[in-house]
Amino acid sequence: KSESDVSIEVGRSGTISVAKPKQHRASLSDFAANEGGQCPSCGAEGLVGEPCSHRVCSGHEIHIIPTPYADLYRERLAHSPFPDLLVGRRIHDYLVVDTLGSGSVGRVFCALQLPVLMRVALKISSARHVASRDSALHTSHFVREAKILARLRHPHIVTLMHYGVFQALPFIVTDLVEPACTLRDELRRRTVEGESLRFSEVRGIVEQILDALYYAHSEFVVHRDIKPENVLLQRTPGTNRIFVRVLDFGLAKVVRESHETNYVSGTAIYMAPEQILGSEIGPWTDLYAVAVMLSELITGSCLFAGMDRATVYRLKLGDGGHVARALSDHALPPEALEFFRVALARAPSERQRDVTQFREQMERMFDALEVGGKTELSADEISRLLQSRVGGLTQSRRHSPSISDATVI
C-alpha cells in the first residue's frame, strides 16, 4: 500500500441502502454462487476481483466484476456518454460494481468485499473537493462523520464498517440492505401505486426515529439533517412491519465539544431557527426537523411550499404566525395544533427539550387524530405533498451568525 492508501478498521457492520431495479434484482443476488464475471469496460471474461488483462483496462486498474453488474454498467453507459471511472476499481478490499447515488460531498457505490463478495455501500469523496483549497476541511468532515458513526451502536442508526483513504480520497463503508428505500421514495411509490399512508404507519416510523435520536442525544450527538431522504425503510421479510434506520451523519455534531457552529448546515425546509443563526444546538434541533416531517405526513402539505431559501429563513425567524396560518387550513384537533405550536416554536426554550417530552405530546396528538376520524393520507394527498416539496434547499457554508445575513441568502 502507498502512504495515500491508509486504512483504519473502526467497527462492526452498518446499514445503508438503495433498492435495485426489479429486472436486475434476481440476477444480482445469484452471482455469489459463480465467481465468473466480465470487465465492465471491454467485456473480457475472468474471475471476479481479478485485474482485467486487456492493456488499456489494466492501465486504468479495471477489475472483473460479476456479469449482471457489468451488463448493468453497459446498459447505463448506452444512455450516458460519461462512464463512472470507479466502477471496476478496487478500493482496498472493496470492488466497486455499481453507482448508487451522488451528493454535494461525494458519491455512493455498491461494492463487494473481497474475497467473500459481501455487498456493501461505499461513500467516497469527490476528487474536486480534494483539489480545492478547502480539501483539508472536507477531509476533516469525512473523519468526523466516521468518528461519530463509530461511537453510535443502535439498531435504528447506520453504523460504520470501515474508514479509509484511497488516492487522497477519504471513504466510508457501511452495510447495504436490500431491498429498502428512503421515506421520500416510499411516498413516491405509494403515489404511483395509489396506496394511502395510514397514520398508524407514520406513528410507527416516527417512534423508531425518536428511538434513534434518543440514543444519539444520550451520546451528545445531534444529527442536524433529519429529513425523509435520510430515513431508510425496510420491510421485515414475512411481515408487513417497517424497520427504520437513520442515515447520513455527515452534518452531525458532538454538542459536548461545542454547542455553537460557524456553519449554516442542513436542509432549509427542515432546519431549526438556531441552525440558521449559528447559535446553540441540541436535541431540540433534531426534534424541530421531526416535527416538520410530521406536519407533512399528517396534513399532506409542506409548510414552506414553493418558497426560496431566503423566504424560508425569514418565516422561520419570524413570530410563528406563518406556521399557525398554514396549519389552520387543515381540520386538525386542538391537540395537534398545540403540539405543532410548541414543536415548531422559534425559540428552543419554548419547544420540547428532549425526546421524552416530544414523544409524550406526540402520542396525545395521534390519539386525538384517531378519535377525530382522520386516520390516513390518501395517494392523491401524498402526490400533492411531493409536488409541493420540490428539492430541499440544502445548505452548508461558513457563516457569521446574524439575522440580516440569514434572511437575504
Annotated catalytic residues are 225
Pick from 190, 390, 362: nearest CA to 290: 362
Question: Which stretches does DSSP call E strand in 103-252?
Answer: 106-113, 118-125, 162-166, 169-175, 181-182, 197-198, 221-222, 231-235, 242-246
CA–CA gap between residue 110 and residue 72 (Å, rounded):
12
CA–CA gap between residue 342 and residue 216 (Å, rounded):
22
Phi, psi dihedrals of residue 62, rounded to the nearest 5°: -85, 140
SS3 state at 244: strand
Quote the radius of gyration of the chain (alpha carbons, Å). Answer: 22
CA–CA gap between residue 304 and residue 312 (Å, rounded):
6
Starting at the edge strand that comes first in sequence, how are the strands of the sheet with 65-66 ordered? 45-47, 36-38, 65-66
CA–CA gap between residue 123 and residue 176 (Å, rounded):
11
SS3 state at 217: helix
Which helix (H) or strand (E) segment holds residue 8: the answer is strand 7-8
